[in-house]
Chain A
Amino acid sequence: MRKTRRVPDTKGYFGDFGGRYIPETLMPAIRELTAAYRKTGSSPSFRKRLEYYLKEYAGRPTPLYFAEKLTKKLGGAKIYLKREDLLHTGAHKINNTIAQALLALEMGKKRLIAETGAGQHGVATATVAALFGLKCDVYMGTKDVERQSLNVFRMKLLGSRVIPVSSGSCTLKDAMNEAIRDWVTNVRDTHYVIGSVAGPHPYPMMVRDFQCVIGREARGQVLKKEGRLPTHLVACVGGGSNALGLFHPFYNDEKVSFIGVEAAGLGLKTGRHAAALLKGRVGILHGSKSFMLEDEDGQVSLAHSISAGLDYPGVGPEHAFYQKTGRAEYAAVNDREALEGVKLLSRTEGIIPALETAHAVYYLKKLAKKTRKSDIIVVCLSGRGDKDIDIMKEHM
C-alpha cells in the first residue's frame, strides 16, 4: 500500500498534474474540506455510517458477474462485469454522493450543489439530499437537459432544483463553471459535490477514494472466484471516476493492466470527440492541471460524445499521471461503436448498459482478440441504460 499513498502529494499533485487553480474566495472552503476529509474521512464512526448506507441503502456489495455468453461470443479472456449498474439510482455515482453528503453534514453545510452531464451524478446528489434533508441545486447544460429529460424529472421528483445552463457548449463543462460560480457566491453554507475525479484538490483524491469501494470489492471477489488477480481492468473515462474506483486498489499489482476508454465521438480525426488523454494537451480547467481539449490560443474546445456523461473536454489529473507514467493505457470508442456495445451486451447477457458504459463494453471486442483464454478481464459496468433509451431509439 505504501506506493499508492504517494499520489497525490500534500498540494494535490499527481506528478505534474492536479493542484488547486481556483479563486481565492474558495480557498478557505477548500482547505476546510481537505481538513474535514482528512480528519473525518478516516474516523471509525464516519466509515461505519458510510458503510451502513452503502450496504443498506445503495445495495453494496455489487456482484462481480461472470459474463459467460459474452466471453464465448468474443472468444478471448474470461470477462467479469462489476455490476455498479445495480446500485440504487443506477450507477456508481451514488458511492461518492453518499460519502460527500455525510462529510457535508459533518461540516455543518445546509445545501448541496452539483454539476451533471448525463444526469446520473445529479440524480445521485438529489437522492442523498432527500435522504439527509439537505437543500440541493443541480446545474445542467441545456443540451443535456434535453437529451436526459428522464433524469431531469427524477431530480425534480426528489425535491431538487435543476438549473439549466445555457452558456458555452451547454453541456457538462459549462454546468461545472456555473456550479463553481454558485459555490463562490454561497461558499459559507454550501458544499459542492463534484461528481468526478476532477476539480481542485482534494476532490480528485477524495472522489477516487470514495469510488475505490468498486475496486476493493472486485479484487476480493475475483480472488475468491478465480484464486488469482485479473489480467486486465477496463472502464470508460469521461472525468474518470468509475475507472479510478476500479483501477486504484490494483495500483500496486503491476501485472494487472488498466485500460481506460475515452469517447471518440464522431471519430478522433474529426476533431469532434471527447478524448482528452489521447488527443488533448496539458492545461488548466475547473481547478486542476491535466489533459484537456483546447485550441492553440488556450480556449477550451467543445467536446462531443453521444454519451452526455463523457461529453467533457477535460479528464481527472490522476489519469493524466497514469498515462504519463505508463501505468494505464487509454483507448477510444466512437459513437457508433458505443451503440453497438449497447446491443452486444443487451443481447448476449440481457443487460442494457448506459451509453457511457457501452464504450467500455465495445472495447472488449477489440481487447478480447488480443487476450488468451486464461486471461481475466474485469470491466466496470458503471451504469444502466434506462436513461439513454430515447437516444438509443433515435440512433438504432
Chain B
Amino acid sequence: MNRINETFKRLRAEGKKAFIPYVTAGDPDIRTSKKIVSALAKAGADIIELGVPFSDPLADGPTIQKAIQRSLDAGCSVRKVFDMVRELRRRASVPFVFMTYYNIVFNYGIERFIREAKICGADGIIVPDLPMEESKGLMDIADREDFCLIMLTAPTTPAERFRKIAGRSRGFVYYVSLTGVTGVREKLSDKLKGDIKKLKKMTAKPVCVGFGISNPAQARDVADVSDGVIVGSAIIRLIEKNPDDKSAMVEKVEVFAGAVAKAVHG
C-alpha cells in the first residue's frame, strides 16, 4: 500500500488530521533544503510536499515564485531533487509528494519521471496545470506504479465535476481554498468551512485544503472540517527572511511547523 494511503488510514484510526507542509526542493540550496525537510518531519509533518522548481509557475504567488527562483539559481534540477529524496528516504518514513508543473514531467518523460520518482522513495505527485481532461496519460502510468496522482479541485469546480475529479484522484483530494494563486492570506473566506463540509459529503477520499493557510489558528479551523491542511508560503517566508543564518532558518521552520502540527493534530 502506498505510504499516503497508509498515513490517512493511521490518522483516521487515531482521529487525527494531516499536517502537510510544502517547501520548494533546493530552496535556498540542496544542502539546507534537506535539513529543512528533515526538520519538517521532526516537527510532525504527516506528508511533505516538495516543489520541483519550474521557471514559469503560473499557479504560484510571489513567495513561492521567489523560492523557485532561489532554487534554480542554486542549480537545482529534477535529478538533484530525486537524489535529495533518495537520501532523505533512508531516514524518513514520511510520504513525499512532488508538486510540479506538467512541462517538467513531460520533458523528463512521463514514464521515466514516475518510475524514478517511485524508486527514489517519493509517493505521489500534484500537477497544478494538469486538469482532469489532460491527465489520463499520467494517471495510467502512476496507477501502474502505485504512485498517487493527487488532483486539485477549486471553489469554481461545479459539484458534478468535483465528484468526477475526486473519483480519479489518488491518495487524497486537494481542495484549493480560494480563487487565486498560492500565498499567505490574512483571512480565509467565511464560506470555506461550509464549502468543505459539502465536499466531504461527496467523496469518501480524504479532502485536504491548501492555498492561503498561514498560521496555527487558521490551520486548526480548516482541520476541524477537512482531513488535512497544506501550508506552504508561510513556511517559505521563514526561509526568505533568514538568508544568512542557515541554522536559524532551519530552526525557525521547525518551531513554526511544530506549532502548526500541534494545532492540526489537536
Chain A residues engaging chain B, CB cutoff 8 angstroms: 11, 19-29, 167-168, 173-174, 177, 180-181, 184-188, 281, 283-287, 289, 294, 297-300
Contact = CB atoms under 8 A, between A and B. Distances in A.
Nearest to B157: A24
Judged by DSSP, the binding face of B is: loop
A185 B179 contact: yes
Contact of A187 (B61, B103, B156, B161): B156
A281 B107 CA distance: 9
29 contacts: A20-B133, A21-B102, A22-B129, A23-B58, A23-B128, A23-B129, A24-B128, A24-B132, A24-B157, A27-B132, A27-B133, A27-B156, A168-B56, A173-B56, A174-B56, A177-B57, A177-B58, A187-B156, A188-B156, A188-B179, A283-B103, A284-B103, A297-B78, A297-B104, A297-B107, A297-B108, A298-B104, A300-B56, A300-B103
B56 A285 contact: yes
B190 interface: no
Interface of B: 53-59, 61, 65, 69, 72, 77-78, 101-104, 106-108, 128-134, 151-158, 161, 165, 176, 179-181
A177 B59 CA distance: 9
Contact of B165 (A24, A184, A284): A24
A300 to B, nearest CB: 5
A186 B158 CA distance: 17
Contacts of B152: 23-24
A11 B135 CA distance: 13
Contact of B103 (A27, A173, A188, A294): A294
Contacts of A286: 56, 58
Contacts of B176: 23-25
A299 B72 contact: yes
Contact of A284 (B57, B59, B102, B179): B102
A251 B76 CA distance: 45
**Interface core residue of B130, B153, B179 (most chain A CB under 10 Å):** B179
Contacts of B128: 23-24
A294 B77 CA distance: 13
B55 A299 contact: yes
A25 B58 CA distance: 12
Contacts of A174: 56
**Interface core residue of A11, A24, A28, A284 (most chain B CB under 10 Å):** A24
A174 B56 CA distance: 8
Contacts of B103: 283-285, 294, 298, 300
Given A167-B65, A173-B56, A298-B54, A22 B131 contact: yes
A25 B56 contact: no
Contacts of B104: 297-298
Contact of B55 (A184, A187, A300): A300
B106 A298 contact: yes
A19 B129 CA distance: 11
Contacts of A297: 77-78, 104, 107-108
A33 B198 CA distance: 27
Contacts of B102: 21, 284
B185 to A, nearest CB: 11
A181 B60 CA distance: 8
B58 A11 contact: no
Given A167-B65, A299-B55, A185 B106 contact: no
Contacts of B65: 167
Contacts of A185: 179-181
B107 A283 contact: yes
A114 to B, nearest CB: 16
B32 to A, nearest CB: 21
B181 A181 contact: yes
A168 B132 CA distance: 29
A391 to B, nearest CB: 26
Contacts of B61: 181
B107 A21 contact: no
A167 B161 CA distance: 34
Contacts of A184: 58-59, 179-181
